[in-house]
Amino acid sequence: MGLASPGIVEYADCFKREFMSQYLVYLPVAFLVATSLMLLLSQNWRICVLALAVQYLAAFWLVALIWPVGLAAVKLVAGWMAGSLIGATQPESELMDDHFKSKAGRALRLLAAAVILLVSFTLVPQMQEWIPGSTPIVWGGILLIGMGVLQLGMTTLTLRVFFGLLTLVTGFEILYAVVEYSVLVTGILAFINLGLALVCAYLLASPTMQGDA
């Protein structure tokens, strides 16, 4: 008498699966929002590298919803290797940008990020006519592309520029994963991520090498 009937248990399991499939998928999008804001606002390179690693993890989560986990993991591994290459150069501990040192400058960046977030969400229905993916995946891709362009347009610092490029490429990877399943293109995009990281590491280390010479 005290046990729940099989019908109630089956209904509860069905509700749980539906809830997980409909709402938990937005969790990686929340991570993308948080990490892209951290990359835009943080003045510490270690925090930015950590945010980049979490951003690649969230992107892997979204891509794994439509691709085999093994192939989607290529993006995660390549992204983490790119972050490791940048972190290994040991740049300056601060990422101070002369144009945005003040609280007003940070507020301007935060306002611009809020606009990108709103516009990206608004564009999802129109983009789904061309890219037949679920709302979280399309939104995540558009969001990263917008935040990457924003980072590129608001700084001239080498490290921030490459953070913006890596963010933009990750957004493109998410949208491309919806359109086509391609092992070759996945490998090419992984090499692009690693290539950008190598160029960034070289540019960050070159002043030090010149000083040693």
pLDDT: is 152 or 11 the higher one?
152
pLDDT: is 17 or 150 the higher one?
150
pLDDT above 90 covers a percentage of the chain that reads 34
Convert the pLDDT of each residue in 152-198 to its tens digit. 988 878 888 999 999 999 999 999 988 888 788 888 889 999 999 99
- Confidence at residue 98, expressed as pLDDT on a 0 to 100 scale: 52
| Contact in structure between 150 and 113 (CB atoms under 8 Å) | yes
What is this structure's pTM? 0.82
Where does the pLDDT of residue 12 fall: very low under 50, low under 70, confident under 90, or very high at 90 and above? very low
Convert the pLDDT of each residue in 19-68 to its tens digit. 445 667 788 999 999 999 999 888 888 888 999 999 999 999 999 888 88
Distance (Å, whole) CA 83 – CA 58: 15
| Contact in structure between 174 and 137 (CB atoms under 8 Å) | yes
